[in-house]
Amino acid sequence: MIPRYTLPEMANVFSDVARFDRYLEIELLATEAHAAIGIVPEADAAACRANAPTVDDEFVQAVSDREAVTDHDVAAFVDVVQSAIGAPAGAWIHYGLTSSDVVDTAWCWMMRDACDQLIAASTELLRTLVLLAREHRDTVMIGRTHGIHAEPTTFGAKVALWALQVDRDRTRLMAARDTVGVCKLSGAVGTYSNIDPAIEAHVATALGLRAVPATQVIARDRHAEFLYACASVGATMELVAVELRHLQRTELSEVQEGFKPGQKGSSAMPHKRNPISAETISGLSRVLRGNLQAGLQDVALWHERDISHSSVERIVLPDSALLAYYVLRRMNRLLQGLQVFPERMLANLQSSFGLVFSQPVLLGLVQAGMSRDEAYRIVQDNAGRSWDERRSFRELLDADPRVTVPAAVLDDAFDLQRSVRYAGRGVDVLDSLRVG
């Protein structure tokens, strides 16, 4: 991932140093487990731990240099580690293991830790959304369907639905964490032919992972579930971002992203304050969806393994974690600085001459004894005239001799507070969420 969208805490999970450090710990734990069952001399296992190299940039470079000879990254890693530990103890490193035992266990360990950060970021965003929804529980605005004025709603109700979706994403991340929090150290083709199952159990316990049956590789539907959870986060963030982009359009001006001192919205037009955060989030969500497609294609491997998945995962697993984390953090920052303009929301609602009350008018006429079709035509005729002539919908209804209901019926139909009297129910549901 390019540095622009990389936050250090998530980058540290997938860095080369962190990855090789995980490899080393897996190897050392396996060696110690072999000593515990009497295969490796205890003194040699202790020497492996005591003389293990420090994994740093110099170590990473040494592995890279060795890979130029071996043309195999794990073999190069093992060579460098064994050389650093020295003979005879170093010879026990990687005993009974195949490359995928180390690599797949490390990937799952990394994805589990990535999920922890994504869950924490989701919870932080959820707190922001809950506060925003409660603040605007009664902030009335127009609800739009197909981009057209429909009926009144509240900004709080809108934000509450975003919060509930973020909570569902958090649940998906928790499920993905459980799915990927596994390991395998069962050797070539996964039959434990050259390694005792006790070794796998020891490593699993030490790392807080769960040993699972596997071929030579852990089944890739697990990795695809992780990618889906990341893509789902992206889809939710885009849902919010697209709505905010629409609400920031000049013609609406109902909300606005924060604009810090010294910021420039355009290199050419000094007046511009563009929705750059929301647009960035929309764009990055497309990458997350594309990565999911690649991950799904990795599920079907040949027989007990091939490596067609390997090159893909080196890109899509860290990139998806980094991007999902980035859009969660970027959205949280956007919403914490979001400016909301209730007066503009109300003015926009009122700009369609009262047409947003057409349904309660229709229902009032039906309740008064008129057939639904007849009532619909009367309301539709007056609504059309109201829009075409830019006249008050209520005044046209009052002047229509076909409308014989008492004025109180229309008063009730045009009562804005009646329309939104239950809109806060979605906000109230947020009280049940765990937001820390």
Q: Which of 83, 193, 266, 308 is catalytic?
A: 266
| Cα–Cα nearest to 54, from 33, 25, 26 | 25
DSSP string computed for 66-135: HHHHHS-HHHHHHHHHHHHH-TTGGGGTTTT--HHHHHHHHHHHHHHHHHHHHHHHHHHHHHHHHHHHHH
CB 160 within 8 A of CB 175: no
Q: Which of 146, 267, 271, 303 is catalytic?
A: 146
Our answer to whether residue 271 is catalytic in this structure is no
CA atoms within 13 A on the CB side of 171: 8
CA 104 to chain centre: 23
CB 139 within 8 A of CB 340: yes
Our answer to whether residue 34 is catalytic in this structure is no
The answer for residues whose C-beta is within 8 angstroms of residue 367's C-beta and 6 or more apart is: 409
| Two structure tokens written together for 76 | 């190069």
| Two structure tokens written together for 332 | 């949280």
Q: Give the C-alpha separation, 288 to 228, whole Å.
A: 9
Q: How many CB atoms lie within 10 A of CB 174?
A: 16
Active-site amino acid positions: 146, 266
